[in-house]
Amino acid sequence: VAINEERYLLKALEFEGALRAYLMGCTRDESQVEELLQETYARVLGAGSAPGPEVLSVRTLALTIARTVALQWLRQNRTLPIELVTGADACDIPEVSHLSAGPDHEGEIHDGERELSDLVTAIKALPEECRRVVTLRKVYGYSQQQIAARLQIPQDAVERHLTTAVLRSVEVRIGGDADQPGGTVRFRAFGKQGDRAERA
Amino acid sequence: VQSAREIAAVAAAWLIRVEREATPELWDALQVWIDSHPRHRAEFIRQRTAWNRCDKLKMLRPGDGTIDADLLSRIEFTTPEGEGAASGGRGRFGAGGDLRDGAVDLSRRGWLALTAATGIAILGAWYFALQTGWDTYRTAVGARQLVTLSDGSTADLNTGTELRVRMSPGRREVLLEHGEALFRVAHDPRRPFSVTAQSRVVRAVGTEFCVRIRDDDRVEVLVTEGRVALGMPGGPAHSSASAFGNGISMGEIAMLSDRKVDVRHVGTQELDRRLAWTSGRLAFQGETLGQAVEEFNRYNVRQLTIADASIRQMRIGGTFSSTDPDSFVAALEHSFRVAAIRAPDGRGVSLIARHRDAGGNEFHRSLRPSTVRPASPAARAGH
């Protein structure tokens, strides 16, 4: 029923640990992992607006897309003959079925306090002024203007600190992202696009 | 070509920029950036998600109203032995020195108790006199405005909203005439903050809540943080407490009609959906087409109508820009058996069911040969 285009991406973000681990198996270059991850997310997002059956396991979808992205990158950058790249033995891009491509967690169990402590730990690691700005913003709900007034720093500085904090917050993993062994690639159709309205 | 890290930095800067001031021009510019590459959009969503997750830190706010920018550096998370097993592995945190209770259970209940302990929200008869000294704020259909009040509180005005504000030494009063607004109340226990809508009062000391006057004059109150009290102004003294109970807390929504109040809990996802308008979006999940159309019509002069009862109850989902009904209509035409007929003067769009005959050809019921009737101007314009 849902035509929320962001739904696959929002789900896939919960599996960032698994995606990252997979991509690390493709290249050791960390900045390259960032590239591949961002491209993977962009395509997962695109899958959310493409017509077709609803994907049962977003985890598997995201890993499959990550593999495709990694393969394409390999083709473009290592100038290997395509036959070699697509042959199973010739490349170091692992098959998804060997990975933790199981179904999405049912009714995801969130360790809320673990997440909270991770967030606090991340913020404590920020430089002092940045930490104070984030605390006022996120713990006390101050506006940027109010923060600038209270700490007596220019509003541009507040903006800069918050931007730093946003980038840091992305690195805090969402809880319960452990790899699960086994599992196979599974897609299941919930019926054709046009039927959805009637089924609802 | 920009690197992933560069895109990430730009996305983060945008996120903070629109948090600071969200003018329509800025939103348009952001939209242009987001649309210019699929990676931009994905990265923005990723960062928005991570940043919103940090809102959980509000749970650490001490209940006594003190502000401490160094609070987090004094918090240590610990998992006492034995305790962990008994409470299902739940950790506890203790704060060095400042939090008087020492270790505070971080469960939701514990936190609410903490809030309640500050003695927020006492109900009483509330007489509302119309006097001078009111500031008026208004938004047009489709517009949104974030107003910062003189006490540091903010009011985020949704489409077609009018509210009046009066600040005095002993109280902070807001009169919501019509529409919807999200209030972020600056903490001040000596000056209660009250919002009156359709003769109902929402009172708070320092919380965050949304008040909406619906078309049928019912008032909807959604609390996104803390706790508020609900009551009636000038009613029989003290009767409001028994009529409305003690108020509602974070994650609860109250629907107030004549002397009746329905309270229910809303999940995080519904909460996000209900507040999607604060970022110019409308989000649906399982609402009927009728409800969705009603929502869109709040934001647009160009009105959508459902000309076919058979599709009114259809359930839909998705996120849309509130001022872009065309994308919504396009999505309907794409994913459902719905066709749109656009009025020649460009002022309205009718939605009808699309049917299929035995040969698999699609046709609109209103144009079926056997039911030919004098074609309306709207139908002619569509075809």
Q: What is the DSSP string of B252-273?
A: EEEEEETTEEEEEE--HHHHHH
Nearest to B93 by CA among B55, A174, B83: B83
List the single range of A97-101, A120-124, B64-68, B194-198 with lowest mean pLDDT: A97-101
Report how far residue B121's alpha carbon sits from residue B82's, in angstroms, rounded to the nearest whole number: 37
- Identify the residue whose tokens are 């059956």: A53
> Do A38 and B8 make contact, defined as CB atoms within 8 angstroms?
yes
What does the block give as tokens for B298?
A: 């709040």
pTM over 0.80: no
A-interface mutation test, from B15, B48, B51, most A Cβ less than 10 A away? B51
- Identify the residue whose tokens are 């599996």: A15
Mark residue B274 as left, alpha or beta (left: phi above 0; alpha: psi -120 to 50; beta: remaining): alpha
> Do B208 and A41 make contact, defined as CB atoms within 8 angstroms?
no
Which pLDDT value is given to residue A156? 93
If one counts every other C-beta atom within 10 angstroms of the C-beta of residue B52, the result is 14
From B305's Cα to the closest Cα of chain A, the distance in A is 18
Contact in structure between B226 and B207 (CB atoms under 8 Å): yes
What does the block give as tokens for A193?
A: 């696009």
Top pLDDT among A92 and B176 is at: B176
Contacts of B56 in chain A (CB under 8 A): 112, 115-116, 119
Question: Which residues, listed in sequence order, are joined to residue A178 by a DSSP beta bridge?
Answer: none
Which pLDDT value is given to residue B75? 80
Q: For residue A24, what are the contacts with CB-CB under 8 A and spacing of at least 6?
A: A33
Contacts of A43 in chain B (CB under 8 A): 38
Q: pLDDT band at B4, cuts 50/70/90?
A: very high
List the single range of A31-40, B18-27, B293-302 with lowest mean pLDDT: B18-27
- In a 13 Å sphere around the CA of A149, the CA atoms on its Cβ side amount to 6
Q: For residue B223, what are the contacts with CB-CB under 8 A and spacing of at least 6?
A: B207, B208, B209, B248, B249, B250, B251, B252, B253
DSSP A137: I
From A90's Cα to the closest Cα of chain B, the distance in A is 28
Top pLDDT among A55 and A189 is at: A55
Q: pLDDT band at A196, cuts 50/70/90?
A: very low
Nearest to B126 by CA among B82, B171, B163: B171
Q: pLDDT band at A7, cuts 50/70/90?
A: confident
Contacts of A46 in chain B (CB under 8 A): 38
Report how far residue B299's alpha carbon sits from residue B304's, in angstroms, rounded to the nearest whole number: 11
Which pLDDT value is given to residue B122? 27
Contacts of B36 in chain A (CB under 8 A): none
The beta-carbon neighbor of A163 closest among B13, B39, B71 is B13
Report how far residue A10's alpha carbon sits from residue B269's, in angstroms, rounded to the nearest whole number: 12
For the stretch B213-262, pLDDT in tens is: 888 888 899 998 888 888 765 433 333 333 445 678 888 998 887 767 78
What does the block give as tokens for A108?
A: 């995801």
Which pLDDT value is given to residue A96? 62
Contacts of A126 in chain B (CB under 8 A): none
Classify the C-alpha dihedral A153-A155-A157-A161 as positive or negative.
Answer: positive
Report how far residue A160's alpha carbon sits from residue B44's, in angstroms, rounded to the nearest whole number: 17
B-interface mutation test, from A123, A167, A199, most B Cβ less than 10 A away? A167
A-interface mutation test, from B7, B14, B17, B57, most A Cβ less than 10 A away? B57
Report how far residue A119's alpha carbon sits from residue A126's, in angstroms, rounded to the nearest whole number: 11
The beta-carbon neighbor of B154 closest among A113, A139, A143 is A143
From A105's Cα to the closest Cα of chain B, the distance in A is 17
> Do B318 and A139 make contact, defined as CB atoms within 8 angstroms?
no
Contacts of B57 in chain A (CB under 8 A): 116, 119-120, 123, 135, 138-139
From B365's Cα to the closest Cα of chain A, the distance in A is 17
Top pLDDT among B382 and A181 is at: B382
Report how far residue A176's alpha carbon sits from residue A114's, in angstroms, rounded to the nearest whole number: 9
In this complex, is the C-beta atom of B52 within 8 Å of any C-beta atom belonging to chain A?
no
Q: Is the pLDDT at B362 greater than 70, yes or no?
A: no
Contacts of A23 in chain B (CB under 8 A): none
> Do A170 and B316 make contact, defined as CB atoms within 8 angstroms?
no
Report how far residue B157's alpha carbon sits from residue B137's, in angstroms, rounded to the nearest whole number: 8
Q: pLDDT band at A30, cuts 50/70/90?
A: confident
* Inter-chain Cβ pairs, chain A and chain B, closer than 8 A: 189
Per-residue CA distances from B91 to A63, A109, B56, B104, B266 (Å): 33, 16, 16, 10, 25
In this complex, is the C-beta atom of B375 within 8 Å of any C-beta atom belonging to chain A?
no
ipTM entry: 0.80
Which pLDDT value is given to residue B133? 67
Contacts of A49 in chain B (CB under 8 A): none
Report how far residue B326's alpha carbon sits from residue B121's, in angstroms, rounded to the nearest whole number: 44
Nearest to B18 by CA among B6, B4, B34, B39: B34
Which amino acid, residue A21? A
The beta-carbon neighbor of B15 closest among A37, A150, A166 is A166
Nearest to B302 by CA among B347, B253, B261: B347
Which residues of B, range 163-222, sit inside 8 Å of A by Cβ?
184, 208
What does the block give as tokens for B115?
A: 């809030």
Dihedral of CA atoms B8, B10, B13, B15 in degrees, nearest 10, equals -70
For the stretch A88-147, pLDDT in tens is: 433 456 666 544 555 565 334 456 667 888 889 899 999 999 999 999 999 988 989 999
Q: For residue B78, what are the contacts with CB-CB under 8 A and spacing of at least 6?
A: B91, B92, B93, B94, B103
First-last CA distance in chain B: 44
- Rounded to the nearest integer, the mean pLDDT of chain B is 74
The average pLDDT across A14-37 equals: 88
Q: pLDDT band at B179, cuts 50/70/90?
A: very high
Which pLDDT value is given to residue B173? 87
- Identify the residue whose tokens are 């649906």: B284
- In a 13 Å sphere around the CA of B68, the CA atoms on its Cβ side amount to 18
From A182's Cα to the closest Cα of chain B, the distance in A is 27
> Do B57 and A119 make contact, defined as CB atoms within 8 angstroms?
yes
Q: For residue B71, what are the contacts with CB-CB under 8 A and spacing of at least 6?
A: A135, A139, B60, B62, B95, B98
Which pLDDT value is given to residue B356? 56
Do you know the residue count of chain A? Answer: 200
Top pLDDT among A83 and A50 is at: A50
For the stretch B100-119, pLDDT in tens is: 333 333 444 433 433 333 33
> Do B54 and A193 make contact, defined as CB atoms within 8 angstroms?
no
> Do B316 and A1 make contact, defined as CB atoms within 8 angstroms?
yes
Classify the C-alpha dihedral A126-A123-A11-B282 as positive or negative.
Answer: negative
